[in-house]
Amino acid sequence: MRIKDNGFIVTGGASGLGLATAKLLREKGGRVGVIDLNGAGGWDGDVATADVSDEAAVEAALASLKPKVGQVRGMLNAAGGGGAGLCLGDGATLTVAGFRRGLEANALGSFIMSTAVARWMLEGEPDANGERGVLINVSSIVSMEGQLGTAGYAAGKGGINAMTLPLAREFARFGIRVMTIAPGIFETPMFNAGGDALGVMNRGLRDAVQFPARPGDPSEFAGAVAHIVENPMFNGEVLRLDGAYRVPPGEPSWWDFSKDGR
């Protein structure tokens, strides 16, 4: 699937991995529409505001972007989050509602985006290779190596992993591929957010990246997305992108936000 002159939807495209991907797809000649809960942020192109776990809001956002993007051929769903915090003992903050949000923002949101964009792809004719498009969701290596304090987040991201192959097998007859990228740690606003407690945690995580011995750059994530779009053999798989990083068990102190006034 070529990028030039084709339409793409990027969720979470106002910052971080989504923003880097939206910019690269546009640089390569794609027509890009961004959906983000927080509005345009750092993106200076076409944008719609929506929560990806809200089906009606997603449909409205896609409808508003359709005239600007044209026929869609690709999606990166980078929106997500939630479900983090201890759930037992002193300092416990993860409630049932918080756990549910981790499922909704990640697994449910990915399902809503994948099916909604796939229906849009069906409106277009297949290319010369019989392909209508590619759907790429974003998981996390935490879904495979859950760190203490990430039960809800890991469950939501794990749901994305689990649906990847079933959706790829179902959508194959329509010429639509489905992939998931599970990134390690990248230099994004989400990773660098927080006060002293998260700062201690993040320094420990940085030290565990093998090579390159640093967090990933968002441009490297965007490059992986572009390659998946252009290479039709990427289908039905969860692709780790982590510099041989493995998630440590974690420490309860990492989730003590009392010193930050939270």
Q: Would you say 160 and 140 are in contact if contact means Cβ atoms under 8 Å apart?
A: no
Active-site residue, 245 included: no
> Residues 33, 10: contact at Cβ < 8 Å?
yes
Active-site annotation holder among 120, 153, 186, 191: 153
- ∠ CA 157-41-106 to the nearest 5 degrees? 10
CB atoms within 10 A of CB 228: 23
Find out whether 232 and 194 touch, Cβ atoms under 8 Å: no
Longest CA pairwise span in the chain (Å): 59
Query: From CA 130, how far away is CA 103, in angstroms rounded?
Result: 34
**Order of strands across the sheet with 7-11?**
46-48, 31-35, 7-11, 72-77, 133-138, 176-183, 238-241
Count, in order, helices (H) and strands (E) of the chain: 8, 7
Active site residues: 153
